[in-house]
Structure 1
Amino acid sequence: MNKHQKIAQCFSPAAFIHDSEENYQAIDRLIIEQEIGGLTFFHSRHSAAANFEKRAESLDTEDTFEKLIGLINRYQALSRIPLLISIDGEYGLAMRIEKTPQYPFAITLGALKKDPEKWVEEVGYRMGMDMKRSGIHLNLAPCADVNTNPNNPVIGYRSFGDDPEKVAKLSFAAYTGMKKAGIGAFLKHFPGHGDTAVDSHLGLPILEKTKAELEAEELFPFQYGIDRGVEMIMVGHLAVPALTGGKDIPASISRALITDLLKEEMGFQGLVISDALNMKAVANMYPEPGELEWQAFHAGNDILCFSDHVKDGIEKISQKASDEHVEVVFQKIMDLKKRLGLLDFEPIEVPIFDWESHSQLQKELAENYVSVISGEIKSAELQTLAREGKLGFQEFFTQNPSRFSQDIKLEFSPIEQAEKVIITVFVASHKPLNQFGMDQEVLDEIKALAKSKPCILVHFGNPLALMHLRNLEDFEAVVCAYQGFEETQEVMAKTLQGL
């Protein structure tokens, strides 16, 4: 293979499942003419990374999964060397593809009370198996970010928590589970995106901390993983001046950070992948097509994700990179392809998921993470009030009556007659934009109700959204369910009934 062909193996541009035939053919040409090494699949252009906070919460598009399998087979048939197929599926295929198994968010798994590492590894294994059966080789997950900023617009629910040691152990457990399933996984977003206030899809976050502070928090989970043999890390688009000689340069294109710190000082020997190169934090820095790709490669990235300028990038890297550097990176990618069994690719059939097993796992996880975070649940008292016609019930932010209201075996009375009220809040969005999608008028109504009589708050969704209910002491008790899954609602109903 010539130098151009070897460099092309570094490129993993975006492929959209729901797209035009013209755009599918453009990918065909990239595979045939440029001989790219991989593809990173997204649901649609509307939901791609650059539009992260603006996209619809759910896009009702039929047959996404079947289309994905068809495209993987189509593109693999065109490639001389089988493609590395990647997806960003932090909570499973369902993050990008409808009607596929969804697993709990990282923040939910961070709330597991018993054997958390064992359970997180099992979740990683299950989602990894879903992907392997679907022809996907790399999951661009898990997050090893320590989410110490509750107003972080982009990490939040994607992090295992705000404690570096917990994040280190659980992100490594998730990574281990995916590796056990036979796919590649990445700790991300090095050097740590958890204490930022800017979304790197939209702008450049700058983390003003000393190196010592970074080592104690942001860098800790990555060093933990490196010391235990983690083979892949994704570098984020955030500036950390303390690590780059005082410059506000994105980590993803910083040689001081990737080569000097990550590889040499921290001892990482594996593959480095860039975060999506179309993200606004870096995309507008180099107007000349191909220059950003060169900067990312020169900094030490081995795989270039979501490049919008593949041909120009290959050309620019070919002109500027040494033959030795290209050869080292090429061998790392080919070794990965061999290790993951790509070179024996056969067309794949649409897999059938074991939904019963998945539901059982969800139930077992919910029994482990559903938590009374303040106050106390007095189940016997609730049953007495219900018999006497003095227990009220009110749901907020639900379109239809929830499974929870069916599962709880208590008789409810009108709020006006009630001495005590169970309030359920189904958080509208897992992202913090616009108060997690919760209308202020409704939030004020919940707060007023809590002040008027004893209330138990049952919170389905991102626990970070609780900040918008202000004083939790206004509630007699607060129970956090973290997710709105049917299985979680069933477990929550039993919790209130003391079952």
Structure 2
Amino acid sequence: MDLSLLTLDQKIGQLFICGFHSLEADEQIRKLVKDYHVGGTVYFRRNVESVPQLAALSADLQRLPRSLPDIPLFISIDQEGGMVSRLDHEGMSRIPGNMTLGAAGDVGLTQRTAELAAKEMIALGINFNFAPCIDVNNNPANPVIGVRSFGEDPDKVAEHGAAAIRGYQQTGVIAAAKHFPGHGDTTVDSHRGLAVVPHDKQRLHRIELVPFVKAIGAGVDAIMTAHVAFPAFEPEGTPATLSGRVLTDLLRGELGFEGVIVTDCLEMHAISKSCGIAEGAVRAIEAGADLVLVSHTLGDQIAAIRAVREAVAVGRLSEEVINRSAGRVLALKEKRIGKLPPAPEKKTSVPVPLTPQAESGALLTRVAESSVTLVKDTGNLPFDPAEGMLVVWPELRHRTEVDEPAVHRYTLADALRRHGERVSLSVIGTHPTEREIEDVLKQSRDFSQIVVVTYTAEGEIPEGQARLVQDLNLLYGSRFVVVSSRNPYDLQYFPEVGTYLCLYENRSFALDALANVLTGTTAPRGSLPVSLDSRYRAGFRLP
């Protein structure tokens, strides 16, 4: 569309993606689209109930009354897979996460997985995915990336990231590689505060920037910024999202990126608790961002849009800057979405499941079976089907900022029972109480085969889980099995255990693959995507 046909307010509105809180197009998003001309919206789990509901919602959003009816909305989502999956409902494929794909080590599987995810997003009316996450996770204490990364090797992360980008974009979904210039070596979650990556430029070019250079070469449509400070590029300590030295000088100038730069959500504390959301929106556009993401609160969304309008009115932002960003946004919409088709007389239905199980199940099973990683074993495997076994299962009872799991009623015990195993299940919290620990220790006396599943969401394993494993080790020596079902670094807290396997998510395909390994039905084929210690380096797997 010719930019000269748009008013200044319409062009500014196109630079914003805003969320809302309902399963249908509510007053919040209607007002933002009609009165403030916002260019798109973002889905969270709060917006998703079922396949038919979400497809209908997307169609309704594109039909909302607005001053620019011929320009489609970005309908975006964080569908990374694994532990960051907004689309995890009946009839939707349960896409594996990046570290699962990194452990499988097959970029062809990564691309096919992205194609499957994109195909289903298109069917649901979603056209913009804030993925892949191409941060290099080289810090075991990272509280926010972890299994969202393909691993610690920058070249392998780059290859998998490029494969995912091809999968999304060749299927018609906009990909946004994140979080530039890299959120992998941090110990602070930017949802909660400002993280700093203190390394020099040479180190950053050698590790953190490698996947982004590859993504740019692969033609990635968009890059999402990190609310992280990089003193080597920005000595004033300004987070990358607000830094012209990072977004304009480095990303545009040095790396040659010509696509759309989108911010991470400005309501995250690294921005909202420092300069504030409205001021952050102005600074982000000043720095070189094209799209501003404000995910939750209507008052903050309106304040941010008005602040940008006021910045133009007083000369702080030039209309030329607005035009340049609006031009990129509209060009991307034309490239990937095109013009809206005429609204059908009746709402069209979508199939449930979105992809036939024979097609999706074969792929997801292959990924899962290629990812289970055996790190060490002192002869506990395979399990003897004639003997009963105890499974200790951690139940997630709280949500982290980047973890919105469905209610996972399927456990490892269920997966093992499919093999006819006699299994007793002991459920504990991810932060188990003293009573829960005592109950497991008491129950364990009746079993010669014990498997403890651990789950670490934020950097360090919860103290109770670590103590439970340590107490079991005092009782039984190496005669039990530990499986990490998220961050693989848990072994650092109990290196003396005899048998240790890594599973990088706790969903059904992964658990079925693990059960196959525990029973000797299949061999573990995954390799460590990250280093656990000097003995178990990235790429290791037990022969």
Normalising by structure 2, what TM-score?
0.78
Aligned with residue 473 of structure 2, among 434, 447, 450: 447
2:261 aligned counterpart, secondary structure: strand
Deviation at 1:485, TM superposition (A): 3.0
Deviation at 1:301, TM superposition (A): 0.5
Deviation at 1:66, TM superposition (A): 4.5
Deviation at 1:346, TM superposition (A): 5.1
Deviation at 1:322, TM superposition (A): 2.3
The answer on whether the counterparts of 1:396 and 1:424 sit within 8 Å (CA) in structure 2 is: yes
CA distance in structure 2 between the aligned counterparts of 1:65 and 1:93, rounded to whole angstroms: 20
CA distance in structure 1 between the aligned counterparts of 2:394 and 2:253, rounded to whole angstroms: 51
Tell me which amino acid in the other structure corresponds to 1:298.
E
Aligned with residue 122 of structure 1, among 108, 112, 136: 112
Deviation at 1:433, TM superposition (A): 6.5
Tell me which amino acid in the other structure corresponds to 1:487.
F
Aligned with residue 75 of structure 1, among 61, 66, 69: 61
CA distance in structure 2 between the aligned counterparts of 1:411 and 1:72, rounded to whole angstroms: 46
Query: How much is the aligned-residue C-alpha RMSD, in angstroms?
Result: 2.9
Tell me which amino acid in the other structure corresponds to 2:93.
P
- Residues 46-65 of structure 1 aligned to structure 2 (within 5 Å): 63=49, 65=51
- 1:395-453 superposed Cα distances (whole Å, 9 cap, x missing partner): 112567722331345568996576x534141x34x5127735964553344333442x5
1:394 aligned counterpart, secondary structure: strand
Segment drifting more, 159-168 vs 304-313: 304-313
Which residue of structure 1 lines up, in the alignment, with residue 138 of structure 2?
148
Q: Are 2:444 and 1:421 equivalent residues in the alignment?
A: no
Tell me which amino acid in the other structure corresponds to 2:173.
I
CA distance in structure 1 between the aligned counterparts of 2:423 and 2:82, rounded to whole angstroms: 37
CA shift in 2, pair 1:214/1:398, >3 Å: closer
Q: Are 2:4 and 1:11 equivalent residues in the alignment?
A: no
Which residue of structure 1 lines up, in the alignment, with residue 104 of structure 2?
112
- Residues 128-207 of structure 1 aligned to structure 2 (within 5 Å): 128-207=118-197
- 1:73-93 superposed Cα distances (whole Å, 9 cap, x missing partner): 333212322211111111189
Tell me which amino acid in the other structure corresponds to 1:221.
P
Which residue of structure 2 lines up, in the alignment, with residue 435 of structure 1?
461
Q: Are 2:388 and 1:402 equivalent residues in the alignment?
A: no
CA distance in structure 1 between the aligned counterparts of 2:61 and 2:516, rounded to whole angstroms: 48
- 1:205-232 superposed Cα distances (whole Å, 9 cap, x missing partner): 0111101111111111111222332231
Q: Are 2:262 and 1:268 equivalent residues in the alignment?
A: no
Which residue of structure 2 lines up, in the alignment, with residue 223 of structure 1?
213
Which residue of structure 2 lines up, in the alignment, with residue 51 of structure 1?
none
CA distance in structure 2 between the aligned counterparts of 1:91 and 1:325, rounded to whole angstroms: 35
Aligned with residue 363 of structure 1, among 334, 341, 365: 365
2:232 aligned counterpart, secondary structure: helix
Deviation at 1:377, TM superposition (A): 5.8
1:373 aligned counterpart, secondary structure: strand
Which residue of structure 1 lines up, in the alignment, with residue 517 of structure 2?
495
Which residue of structure 2 lines up, in the alignment, with residue 479 of structure 1?
501
Deviation at 1:361, TM superposition (A): 1.9
Deviation at 1:496, TM superposition (A): 3.3
The answer on whether the counterparts of 2:225 and 2:263 sit within 8 Å (CA) in structure 1 is: yes
The answer on whether the counterparts of 1:17 and 1:64 sit within 8 Å (CA) in structure 2 is: no
1:192 aligned counterpart, secondary structure: coil
Which residue of structure 1 lines up, in the alignment, with residue 291 of structure 2?
303
Segment drifting more, 254-263 vs 166-175: 166-175
Q: Are 2:282 and 1:294 equivalent residues in the alignment?
A: yes
- Residues 307-386 of structure 1 aligned to structure 2 (within 5 Å): 308=301, 309-319=303-313, 320-345=316-341, 349=348, 351=350, 352=352, 353-354=354-355, 356=357, 357-375=359-377, 382-383=383-384
Tell me which amino acid in the other structure corresponds to 2:418.
D
CA shift in 2, pair 1:111/1:4, >3 Å: same
The answer on whether the counterparts of 1:94 and 1:102 sit within 8 Å (CA) in structure 2 is: no
2:155 aligned counterpart, secondary structure: helix
Larger helix fraction of residues: 1
Tell me which amino acid in the other structure corresponds to 1:211.
K
CA distance in structure 1 between the aligned counterparts of 2:329 and 2:222, rounded to whole angstroms: 11
The answer on whether the counterparts of 1:120 and 1:174 sit within 8 Å (CA) in structure 2 is: yes
Which residue of structure 2 lines up, in the alignment, with residue 32 of structure 1?
34
Which residue of structure 2 lines up, in the alignment, with residue 462 of structure 1?
487
Deviation at 1:189, TM superposition (A): 0.3
CA shift in 2, pair 1:136/1:440, >3 Å: same
Report the number of matched residues.
463
The answer on whether the counterparts of 1:11 and 1:310 sit within 8 Å (CA) in structure 2 is: no
The answer on whether the counterparts of 1:31 and 1:75 sit within 8 Å (CA) in structure 2 is: no
CA distance in structure 2 between the aligned counterparts of 1:280 and 1:339, rounded to whole angstroms: 34
> Greater RCO between the two (CA within 8 Å, min separation 6)?
2
CA distance in structure 1 between the aligned counterparts of 2:449 and 2:127, rounded to whole angstroms: 49
CA distance in structure 2 between the aligned counterparts of 1:220 and 1:13, rounded to whole angstroms: 30
CA shift in 2, pair 1:255/1:424, >3 Å: same
- 1:208-265 superposed Cα distances (whole Å, 9 cap, x missing partner): 1101111111111111222332231111100001101x21101001001100011001
Deviation at 1:156, TM superposition (A): 0.7
CA shift in 2, pair 1:350/1:208, >3 Å: farther
CA distance in structure 1 between the aligned counterparts of 2:520 and 2:197, rounded to whole angstroms: 46
